[in-house]
Structure 1
Amino acid sequence: MGFFSTKGLPQNRYFGIWYKKISNGTVVWVANRDNPVTNTSGVVRVTSNGIVVLANETIVWSSNSSRSVSNPMAQLLDSGNLVFRDENSDGPENIAWQSFDHPVDNFLPGMKYGIDFVTGMERYLTSWKRVDDPSPGDFVYRFDPNGYPQVGLWRDSNLTYRTGPWVGDRYSGFPKIPNDIFTVQYVLSEKEVYYKFEVTNTSESAIVRSILTPQGALQRLIWDKQSQQWREYLSLQVDDCDGYRLCGGNGVCNINNAPRCECMQWFHPNFQEAWSSADWSGGCARNNQLDCAKGEGFVKVPGLKLPDTRLSWYNLSLNLQECERRCLNNCSCMAYSNTDDRGGGSGCLLWFGDLTDMRYTNDGQDLYIRIAASELDEGKHSSTNRVVVIVLPVLAAMTVILVLLLLYAFRKRKLERTGTMRLGSINKDELDLPLFTFMQIAEATNDFSFSNKLGEGGFGPVYKGMLDKGQEIAVKRLSNTSKQGIDEFMNEVSCIAKLQHRNLVKLLGCCVEEGERMLIYEYMPNRGLDSVLFDKELCKSFDWPKRYKIINGMSRGLLYLHEDSRLRIIHRDFKLSNILLDYEMNPKISDFGMARIFGGSETEASTTRVVGTYGYMPPEYAIEGLFSTKSDVYSFGVVVLEILSGKRNRGFKHPDHNHNLVGHAWRRYNEEDRPSMASVVLMLSSKIELPIPKEPGFYSERNPEKNHSSPSKCETETINQMSITHLAPR
């Protein structure tokens, strides 16, 4: 316990708690995360009113104890709990304040998260802003007391994931994982609701914790003494189906299906056109409207993560038969289930309104859904639309169908394994690119764990992984719903496989097995240039030498693409997020899905399908579909402006006009006025005086400092107010 600093913010000092016997000094609790000490004057004092952190005799954090004590004492327990109590009064009932009541991002054995309905105290987790910034991040993991309590993950005020209700020994949607390392406890009463876990007596030496990461992943980790690393035991949000309300009301997610979402057999899509386009947010509507007077009933759907319980009612003492009667007698009740699925089931949980956020899962629960009287006979013979019951009159017909299905499955798998389906037209031997197996990539990314997910673009999700030899990789996985498709995938393979340059991201290989399309790249730890440039803290260390180094590296990478590589390549989507940064902040141009290869004599082309990102497209391309190497030069210019100004092009606002950043810096509409990348590289590497850029015929600009004055800076300017009768765009 003491003051610490992070590598990313060495000027800030925080008072915190970390493991003593772990070499990497994992921090588990921070006091002054909102108000760091910025010099070496920080001290901690224990007073009769609690623990305080001072900087220059000014309080930067206080424990705000609920009561004062005569002989104050602060004690750090072996559990990691910092307690404040009277020195002469031992026992948990005499604790005036404890850090376990105020968790940060780590959840330790013996700690509770939940709500005390009597005192109003709420214990919940809040992520760090970044791995090197303890200030509060975007994600909060807390109990939702509405209806039957459940736990949710919020990003700002938006629910992004929920656990499902407690079902006796785990949360609904969680697999049954036997373990002898820790035990869990869930308490729900009129006074409180909470969850906690304890390390078992046989595993007292095990070091276990849960953490809410800055990316919003909740992981349970176990310290591996042999490798001296934290190993993931369990992670939430393991796949796309864990996204909140992915399938809308009354929709069910099936991770093994494509598309992911489906309507149960008593429902149909609310908006069929949107549903067919993979927009499932509209959910499903009933095939037959309910009429309470006509004798409705229920049908069992097994293997589900139970729906959102915010509009629910529960009674822990009723059995399943009593629960059915309660639901049947209430015309607003749409479904029911047990609150505890152990030992034949007990407790009663009723749902009202649409059933949302359901998925099929291993070790799922039975949900009894209300259906119309006309559907009851059908429901008796089919409990779920996943079980397709085929009634065949003769055994011979069934055999024929089975043989056809087997032939189809064999043919489909053969196509997938040989990488056909649009990939078969390309000879893989000519790609000169290593091929990875699906199992290799699945193992490297921990089965595409949510905790390994780096982000998502037009291509699909990107995962971090590690190969057997310890090499870190980034895996771009083509999703079924991505805006880009097989053409872009093959375009990127054919483009970058033939390219080698220190300022281009290195493609290590690809995977075309199991119906998958994946690209495997070298891992870039500092992410995209935009994540550094527009981060309020990281940009402070982004000095001019670093910016120049990145601009120079980008220019050399584009010059290689345009003139020095075996192929002349137009990138067509050159932007900040496609500039990745390695460990030493060297820029690497990435994402060649939109790139175009030119022949030896080609210098310009046109297209009716304009692709790329608005704000970075030159006018002749966005309007007429014309593109050339000068198109990338325009995009490069926009990126340079963003790097120099620290402002987004399309987010730029000026008090005197509505131009974006490019318009503000003089619009270069005429592509002939743009230099080649060779000229740009020469400009950046030379010290000769450059000619003054051509200025618009009419230019009137006010200094924004006049509206936002600063005593430390004052500028004057000459305003050209010459009138002319004709203007030509540049």
Structure 2
Amino acid sequence: MEKVISDSVFLASEILLLSCFYLQSGTALDTITPSKSIKDPEFIISQSGVFRLGFFSFANSSNRYVGILYHQIPVQTVVWVANRNKPLKDSSGILNISDDGNLVVFNGKAEILWSSNVTNLVPNATTAQLLDSGNLVLSNGEDGESSLWESFEDPSNAFLETMKIRTDVKKGRKVELKSWKSIDDPSDGSFSFGFEPFNIPELVIRNNNKLYFRSGPWNGNTFIGVIMKTVYIDGFHVVADNQQQTYYFTYEYSDNYRLKFYELDSQGKLFERTWDGRKESCVYGQCGAFGICDRTKQPICSCLKGFKPRNIEEWSRGNWSSGCFRTTPLQCQRDKNNGSEAGQGDDDGFLKLQTMKVPAFPDRSSINNGECKDQCMKNCSCVAYAYDAGIGCMFWSGDLIDMQKFSTQRVNLYIRLPSSELDKGKSTKVIVITAVIVGIVTTTIIMLFLWCWMAKRRGRKQKHKQIRLQLNNGNAMTKFSSENVGENSIGVKLQQLRLFNFEELAIATSNFDHAKKLGQGGFGPVYRGILSDEKEIAVKRLSKASGQGLEEFMNEVEVISKIQHRNLVKLFGCCVEAEEKMLVYEYMPNKSLDTFVFDPIKKTILDWRKRFNIIEGISRGLLYLHRDSRLKIIHRDLKASNVLLDQELNPKIADFGMVRIFGGDENQANTKRYAIQGRFSEKSDVFSFGVLLLEIVSGRKNTSLFNNQDYFSLLGYKLWNEGNIWSLVDNVVLEPKSNLKNEKEKRRCIHIGLLCVQEYANDRPTMSTVVSMLNSEISNFNTPKQPVFTETPLITDDVQNRASVNDVTLTEFDGR
């Protein structure tokens, strides 16, 4: 029943570093205080370095636990687990003293996974100290002696020295071990180990509260129902106070070199686990049948080649006494079973093990060394042989017991194995050869790929050369030189922006090939391009036929070059040569929002969480324009086609050609054209945002109801006052009412949208208020008043082709 764990490798450097950390903070190495917690993967160490308290995982699990482990043993040895039934799913855990004075384990969401759960504590007056006994004690910080809670009173599956397995009959209190579910799952198993007074005290193990094992009565020296070695009895004692009806069982060893504890495993067995602080030795039978002991390795026991542990669970715990079994039968045994007369197993062979302590109980023969192998091969029951000049040949049949590996010269031992096991050495050569062949083939494929890539690159360069010839022959462009930039009034605004030349952008877009075209807007076409450094771009080229001209172009350059926000599209640079004017933006692979939210197929990609994130992102971008940028900006053209989506569907506001910039003390800006009643304020953007928000929630354009006999648009849909808001929500994101969070968010978004589209600008919220409402920082909303244009359509002709009622331009191109 004894288990030997491993040699000690004292982690001095680790302790030194941690000591320095705690000394700097003025906190003891072994103590947690209200001002000093430990975060994953930090830990504290007991005063003499025997135990540590911190975060850990098991080999076959990603769950994280807080527990007490032996610090000096290189093999992870856990003796107590706090959050055994509520593991952490990541490394966000914190162990600290909570505000009420309890020791608690939090996850990253500030949820309590475990607590010492002591009542009536004095806040900010408790500390937790890890003792060298392995006991974690919560006490009053002032005296440090008044124990309020301790891990020895709430054990896991380990019984440590000085711990008391006890029963208090009057208080109905028991301290007992609780088994784990498995070696990698410390949650409560079905077995418990405790102390029962009965008429005469006994130790018992219960399986789901049913009596499973009892030790027999204690006679003052031992429990008479179990066989116990002297070393097992040494240090154990039972204390029984019949008058107070308190009983406990404990132990304490005097041998400081050996660390021992007892563990209740998942099968209901109580094991002794031992570590020797001196040098680990190989004792008889320690590694079981067909096991080899090697003091230079950890663990010290291993199976012979061709053999596996008979009990993997016990081996993983350091108990090797069950030994190993042969994975492939010997050929001679198969011959016998098949009725072969020879039964000599010609396909068997021998594995040479050098410098070995040979197994116990050999059969001796005086034949010559050269005949040992043949003699063993003829006898199917012979499983090993060896030769020593002073003894002669030695043969073994049956189990091989007490083998040990030495570093100096000893006898060579030959183990009988089937040829399939011996051929595995040859198979290693085959694997190496195969790996070399695969490497050669892979290298060839890579070289072929590189050759194709270089050929393609050469072809691209040739095409670029042809484009340059076409441009030069046509004498199409007069370059806008850097000198002109400095002198020209336009150039003053371009000094902080990268200037692309026409030729560079023509090459990037394959001479503005129609196949590269992303879309067409009122400004002009937008093309996808690839620069010489492989960066993808979107090139917006001002159309000569466009109603927009130099003013809008420079307006967008001036605005977007001075602002930067994660929810605004990024401008890389521009090109101004002769009559050519182009803007170069970051390329957005998912194009614009309208290609998703209004498409019956693509809209299914936008679940509610993605839609809400898009709404939040747009609101933050607008808030930045109105309040947080160096310029106070009105966008004036916010709609679904002007919101672009990146690879992760994050929104970025684009198209700043219609922007107006406030002066420092202005609240609204005059505009020469496209304005309703000639004036725009930031509330114009709020109105546009409200329309866009309702479109995202409903999955429909604002004008999608224009043929409805009652309503001409989403704004005319009197759903709020009629309590019919759910008829507006897109069927794609309708969910069971049990999802309260999403239901509340949808209701909140519709309410906010209707507040934004109220007829009078003064009634509409600011974008800062909108962001606060979306984030639930404001909970009490006003009741929406009548929206703009609720009874009549804004436009009476060709309205079906509009993207939204707040269209200011006829922009209809795809996202960049």
Greater share of residues in helix: 2
TM-score over 0.5 (shorter chain) = no
TM-score bracket relative to the smaller structure: 0.3 to 0.5
Larger Rg over CA atoms: 2
TM-score by length of 2: 0.34
